[in-house]
């Protein structure tokens, strides 16, 4: 009897244990209920490397599995490779397609059950406040997110977004993602290209041309700079930027687009520069047709007189196309200032500057590092610095390649100031000028061993317009006697011409014996062909 009870007890225990094991096996073998399997895709767009707040392309997570449920308390994280610089009204970045259903209005504004929550660094979190059903093919779309592209560094070529999820019920309602990392922007660096459309201007201080508008097209002194987009939305208006992140409210309302700044440097004090418009060169698209790109100057369009410091001209992009590559040209005039904040209409003179001034222009897009505007850019320069003008004094550079006062030889010179020419041509062609010549002498103490001495210089008296000045190398007024070498004379007036004559016999009691002479060679001014990388020096005389 006792054995029978024990056997019955054992049978019941085995039966209960088997039941629980069977339940466990059934649960383990059962597939996860209503799993949502997201496949991630994107619609990447181009973004400016200089941008601190650039709009990214949309990211879409589509349920490619059977219809499933994302449980209340779950979340989806979108992690951008750059820092999120801002969002418009947060809920506006999220769109739910048909087939996404749940409590209330799901993703819409009002009281949605799927919401955009916290943003930290490059991470954006989407929270599910109630059970949300995704039919096959249904999706959520994240767009209108702005990222600090410049913060990624110059080596970056793209911005990416990576999606992941945390399920409130991972065993029964897991969230999976395929192709989780996608590109959302291709970085363009720099955003525009810069070229010199006309120029550089060449100005001499003794005769600064009178101004005509626009100078650069009508023979005056000026230059033109062309700015060309490297992709269709490189230059944007406030309306463009608003359309990229629509629905902005409160402190995130966009009030500005792109500005273009042209910074002109190296203008000698007393000379003026003036923006003279771009209406003569209509903005064009890549196809050559007239484009909608419109820029307007900020502040004055009057002539700005240089004090030696850089001068900045700022322009606002008022309208443009974001579907075509466009370009715009800025015309500038250089000249003497006149009353009424314009450039003088007649030629005049600027005091000598004693050197050759190289005027340059650099272009950037802005606003630069502005806390007051949503659209802002890091400090940048678009392309290379352009040389837009060279300004030099009115000088004539004369080369005498062989002069000597050794071995009984001497060299005589005559320098003519030919700026008086009215009698020859019936009217004054040259501008009468007077000035001295600076004689720069490089001696070679031993021409067979090519031993170089110490360079010395001396200055002649002022040579009036129409006058001739003569001297010899042995003249005790100059430190050149007893040496052989070459001289470069820098005469402070235009149209100087010279002759050198090498003779012997001056030191003897006998008659002078003539050896011969040559014309002084006129070197170009400015001396651009004598620098490394310049064109070969050519004296067409």
Residue-wise pLDDT for 451-494, tens only, equals: 788 899 999 999 999 999 999 999 999 999 999 999 999 999 99
- Residues 76-84 have a mean pLDDT of 95
CA–CA distance, 52 with 55 (Å, rounded to integer): 10
* Encoded tokens for 400: 């005498």
pLDDT in tens, 120-132: 899 999 999 999 9
Strand partners of residue 290: 284
Q: Find which of 58-72, 428-442, 500-514 is predicted with most confidence, using mean pLDDT.
A: 58-72
- How much is the pLDDT for 530? 56
More confident residue, 435 or 118: 435
pLDDT at 283: 53
What pLDDT, on the 0 to 100 scale, is given for residue 16? 41
Residue 3 or 22, more confident: 3
Query: 256-275 pLDDT, tens per residue?
Result: 999 999 999 999 999 999 99
Q: Are strands 45-48 and 181-188 parallel, antiparallel or unpaired?
A: parallel
pLDDT band at 18, cuts 50/70/90? very low
pLDDT at residue 284, rounded to an integer: 55
- What is the model's pLDDT at position 24? 43
Residue 23: pLDDT over 50? no
- Identify which has the larger pLDDT, 8 or 199: 199
Report pLDDT digits (tens) over 335-392.
999 887 889 988 888 888 888 899 999 999 999 987 778 899 999 999 999 999 999 8
| 3-state secondary structure at position 250 | helix
Strand 36-43, strand 175-178: pairing: parallel
Beta bridge partners of 195: 226
State yes or no: pLDDT of 278 exceeds 80.
Answer: no
Lowest mean pLDDT among 65-69, 213-217, 435-439: 213-217
Alpha-carbon distance of 59 to 443, in angstroms, equals 75
Backbone φ and ψ of 295, nearest 5°:
-120, 145
396-530 to CATH, choices 1.10.3720.10, 2.30.31.70, 3.40.50.720, 2.60.290.11 = 2.60.290.11
Instruction: Quote the CA–CA distance of 188 and 231 in Å, as a whole number.
Output: 8
Across 150-179, average pLDDT: 96
pLDDT at 80 over 60: yes
Q: Count of H helices and E strands in the chain?
A: 3, 41
The reported pLDDT for the residue numbered 507 is 47
Domain ranges of the chain: 1-29, 36-188, 192-392, 396-530
What are the b/e assignments for 497-520, b being 16+ CB within 10 Å?
bbbbbbbeeeeeeeeeeeeeeeeb
Cα 283 to Cα 162: distance, rounded to the nearest angstrom: 40
Distance from C-alpha of 139 to C-alpha of 99, rounded to nearest angstrom: 8
pLDDT of 412 over the 60 cut: yes
Q: How confident is the model at residue 25 (pLDDT cuts 50, 70, 90)?
A: very low
Q: What pLDDT score does 30 carry?
A: 40
44-60 pLDDT tens trace: 999 999 999 999 999 99
Cβ neighbors of 200 (< 8 A, separation 6 or more) are 223, 359, 387, 388, 389, 390
Cα radius of gyration (the chain): 40
- Provide CB contacts within 8 A for 43, sequence distance 6+: 57, 58, 60
* 36-188 has CATH 2.60.40 classification: yes
pTM of the full structure:
0.78
What pLDDT, on the 0 to 100 scale, is given for residue 21?
A: 45
Asked whether 212 and 277 are in contact (CB, 8 A), the reply is no
């Amino acid at each position: 009897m006792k054995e029978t009870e024990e056997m019955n007890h054992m049978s019941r225990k085995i039966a209960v244990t088997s039941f629980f094991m069977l339940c466990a096996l059934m649960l383990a073998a059962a597939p996860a209920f209503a799993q949502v399997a997201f496949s991630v895709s994107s619609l990447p767009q181009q973004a400016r490397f200089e941008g601190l707040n650039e709009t990214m392309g949309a990211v879409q997570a589509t349920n490619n599995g059977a219809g499933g449920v994302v449980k209340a308390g779950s979340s989806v994280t979108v992690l951008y490779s750059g820092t999120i610089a801002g969002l418009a009204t947060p809920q506006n970045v999220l769109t739910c397609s048909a087939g996404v259903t749940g409590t209330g209005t799901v993703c819409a504004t009002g009281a949605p059950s799927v919401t955009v929550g916290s943003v930290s660094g490059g991470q954006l979190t989407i929270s599910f406040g109630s059970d949300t059903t995704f039919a096959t093919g249904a999706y959520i779309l994240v767009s209108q997110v702005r990222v600090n592209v410049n913060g990624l560094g110059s080596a970056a070529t793209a911005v990416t977004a990576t999606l992941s999820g945390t399920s409130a019920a991972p065993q029964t309602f897991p969230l999976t993602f395929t192709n989780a990392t996608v590109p959302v922007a291709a970085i363009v660096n720099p955003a525009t290209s810069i070229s010199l459309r006309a120029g550089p201007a060449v100005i001499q201080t003794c005769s600064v041309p009178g101004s005509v508008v626009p100078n650069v097209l009508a023979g005056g002194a000026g230059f033109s700079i062309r700015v060309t987009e490297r992709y269709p939305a490189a230059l944007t208006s406030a309306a463009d930027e608003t359309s990229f992140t629509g629905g902005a409210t409160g402190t995130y309302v966009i009030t500005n687009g792109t500005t273009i700044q042209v910074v002109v440097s190296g203008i000698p004090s007393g000379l003026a520069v003036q923006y003279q418009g771009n209406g003569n060169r209509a903005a064009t698209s890549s196809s050559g047709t007239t484009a909608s790109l419109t820029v307007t100057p900020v502040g004055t369009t009057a002539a700005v007189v240089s004090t030696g410091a850089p001068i900045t001209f700022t322009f606002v992009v008022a309208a443009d196309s974001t579907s075509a590559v466009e370009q715009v040209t800025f015309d500038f005039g250089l000249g003497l200032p006149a009353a009424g904040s314009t450039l003088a209409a007649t030629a005049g003179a600027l005091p000598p500057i004693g050197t050759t001034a190289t005027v340059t222009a650099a272009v950037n897009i802005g606003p630069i590092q502005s806390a007051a505007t949503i659209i802002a850019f890091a400090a940048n320069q678009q392309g290379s610095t352009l040389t837009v003008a060279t300004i030099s004094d009115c000088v004539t550079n004369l080369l005498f390649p062989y002069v000597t006062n050794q071995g009984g030889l001497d060299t005589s010179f005559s320098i003519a100031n030919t700026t008086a020419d009215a009698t020859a041509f019936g009217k004054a062609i040259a501008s009468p000028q007077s000035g001295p010549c600076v004689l720069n002498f490089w001696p070679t103490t031993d021409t067979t061993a090519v031993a170089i001495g110490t360079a010395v210089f001396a200055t002649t008296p002022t040579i009036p317009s129409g006058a001739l000045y003569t001297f010899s190398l042995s003249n005790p007024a100059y430190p050149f006697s007893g040496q052989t070498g070459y001289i470069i004379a820098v005469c402070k007036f235009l149209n100087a011409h010279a002759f050198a004559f090498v003779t012997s016999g001056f030191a003897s009691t006998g008659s002078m014996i003539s050896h011969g002479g040559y014309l002084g060679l006129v070197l170009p001014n400015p001396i651009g062909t004598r620098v490394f990388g310049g064109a070969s020096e050519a004296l067409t005389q």
